Amino acid sequence: MLDQFTAMLTDVAAGQERFRSAWSPFSDDPSLRVDDDRLRAALHELQERLQDNYPFFHPMYAGQMLKPPHPAAVLGYLAAMLINPNNHALDGGPATGQIEKELVADLARMFGYADHLGHLTSSGTIANLEALWVARQLHPDRAVAFSAQAHYTHARMCEVLGLRAVEVPSDQNGRMDLEALNALCLSERIGTVVATLGTTGIGAVDPLPQLLELGARHGFRVHVDSAYGGFFRLIADGAADGVAGESFAAMAQADSIVVDPHKHGLQPYGCGCVLFRDPSVGRFYKHDSPYTYFTSNDLHLGEISLECSRPGAAAAALWMTLQLLPLDAHMGIGAVLRRCRGAAVAWAELLRTSTRLSLLLEPELDIVVFFPDTAERSASAISRRSDALFERAMNDEENPVYLSKFRVKTALLRTRYPDVRDDAEWTTVLRSVLMKPEHADWVEKIHRRVEEIAGELGD
């Protein structure tokens, strides 16, 4: 795709020239001019410094949730970035502001929202902050509850907002324990419960339908953090190459939703999105500005956002991507996700029959968590072996494979492997995010290499 991308750069430059030529010509100020040789030298130095990165683009990188954006997104971002619109107000980004409204409506429809209020954000962290900020406006005296497997941003944002945060235990599948939540609601004033659809640690999907039922019974709102897993809504059909549909179908009844296009939406960092089912929450954002919001009576995105300046280029990049890879169950983004899901299912099957590695949990999305077998069946021994395998795999100069480490409560490990001695509260295991569709063709090679390294470690 790099050849295709390079060829399209000429078209981007031509579009920029056409835009500029509509106004009277002028010369760039001398203070902005730089020498061609110095520019080339600086670019060369930067390229050299950028070599100090892991190969996020390669299938043998199966560690964190990192991958390059699609070339279509880069071209879209670049085309808009050369103009540099600001989507805070239509004054600053009339074209990209309208594009963003269309995109947010498309995402809302994907989740089943009819009416909605929402916008893109600079990250999932900010998107979740806004959702919890609205929660505080509605229930300032009530706590926010979330699973022990939820992203750490919720505890941090509750601290920022001055909200009481309550962690709910997770069950043996890494999902929120509903009995524990029900008991909590009998003793605590809970205003909002965060349901995570795709935890960033193990990819667990909280039981959203049952959470909504508890919400109706106890009077709490439900916010869905699907920053990682939201796009799996497209393939939530229970098919062999899809995911279970019940929780994703229930998203239409949630009060708010967060999704990150910079994960499975193939976008560059940072591009998040927050959606509210009830548009009337826009009243909490109401504010005035002495020098914006004057060029149009239409809604300015800054009027429904806590952020001010935001790159219109992010909206252009997402629009460009979805024109070519649409939000469809069997083509575009859906086809990409089915390949990722297939890779996770395939690796789980290989792990089940391995004599050197063990699967921790059945993958619900595309994250696989496993650990190396040890002669001494204890949490500390597994942690030591996981550390050693990680170091050997990442630092092999000839045939590396890039994994990530993950700490789990030993109690969770023992629900699946009761013979493991709990001589430590936490156990270090290994984790792979198979979020590139190419992983589907490489998973056997990845597994074989990890098994080889486990064997090289000996006893």
In sign, the C-alpha dihedral spanning 243, 249, 253, 255 is: positive
In a shared domain, residues 319 and 436:
no
Strand ranges (E), 350-394: 357-359, 367-372
In a shared domain, residues 274 and 191:
yes
Cis peptide before 270 (omega within 30 of 0): yes
User: pLDDT tens digits, residue range 344-361?
Assistant: 999 999 999 999 999 999
Angle between helices 153-161 and 124-138 (to 10 degrees): 50
In a shared domain, residues 419 and 372:
yes
**What CA–CA distance (Å, rounded) separates 421 from 411?**
10
pLDDT at 235 over 70: yes
In a shared domain, residues 299 and 413:
no
In a domain, 67, yes or no: no
In a shared domain, residues 294 and 338:
no
Q: Are strands 221-225 and 256-259 parallel, antiparallel or unpaired?
A: parallel
In a domain, 8, yes or no: no
In a shared domain, residues 211 and 342:
no
Residue 79 pLDDT: 97
| Average confidence score pLDDT of the chain | 95
pLDDT at 228 over 80: yes
Phi/psi of residue 162, nearest 5 degrees = 75, 25
pLDDT at 459 over 70: no
In a domain, 35, yes or no: no
In a domain, 395, yes or no: yes
Contacts of 314 (CB under 8 A, 6+ apart): 77, 87, 120, 122, 267, 268, 270, 271
Residue 205 vs residues 65, 271, 363, 454: alpha-carbon distances, Å: 17, 22, 10, 30
Label residue 301 by pLDDT band (50, 70, 90): confident
Domain boundary, last residue among 324, 355, 388: 324
In a shared domain, residues 294 and 402:
no
**What CA–CA distance (Å, rounded) separates 330 from 348?**
23
Cβ–Cβ < 8 Å for 365, 343: no
Domain boundary, last residue among 289, 324, 359: 324
pLDDT at 415 over 90: yes
- Give the length of the chain: 459
In a shared domain, residues 290 and 352:
no
Percent of the chain scoring above 90 in pLDDT: 92
* Identity of the residue numbered 208: L
Label residue 299 by pLDDT band (50, 70, 90): confident
In a domain, 136, yes or no: yes
> Between residues 288 and 223, which one has the greater pLDDT?
223
In a shared domain, residues 381 and 343:
yes
CATH classification of the domain holding 447: 3.90.1150.170
Alpha helices in 188-268 (DSSP H): 208-218, 246-249
Domain boundary, last residue among 324, 355, 385: 324
Residue 1 pLDDT: 74
β-sheet bridge partners, residue 190: 143
Residue 132 pLDDT: 98
Nearest C-alpha neighbor of 1 from the set 65, 49, 69: 69
In a domain, 107, yes or no: yes
Phi/psi of residue 33, nearest 5 degrees = -75, 140
CATH classification of the domain holding 223: 3.40.640.10
In a shared domain, residues 430 and 302:
no
pTM (predicted TM-score): 0.96
In a shared domain, residues 356 and 286:
no
Q: Where in the sequence is the domain holding 436, given as residue range(s)?
A: 333-456
Contacts of 122 (CB under 8 A, 6+ apart): 270, 271, 272, 307, 310, 314
Residue 420 vs residues 379, 405, 416: alpha-carbon distances, Å: 7, 19, 9
**What CA–CA distance (Å, rounded) separates 254 from 116?**
11
How many domains would you assign to the chain? 2
Residue 288 pLDDT: 74
In a shared domain, residues 249 and 360:
no
pLDDT at 384 over 80: yes
In a domain, 203, yes or no: yes
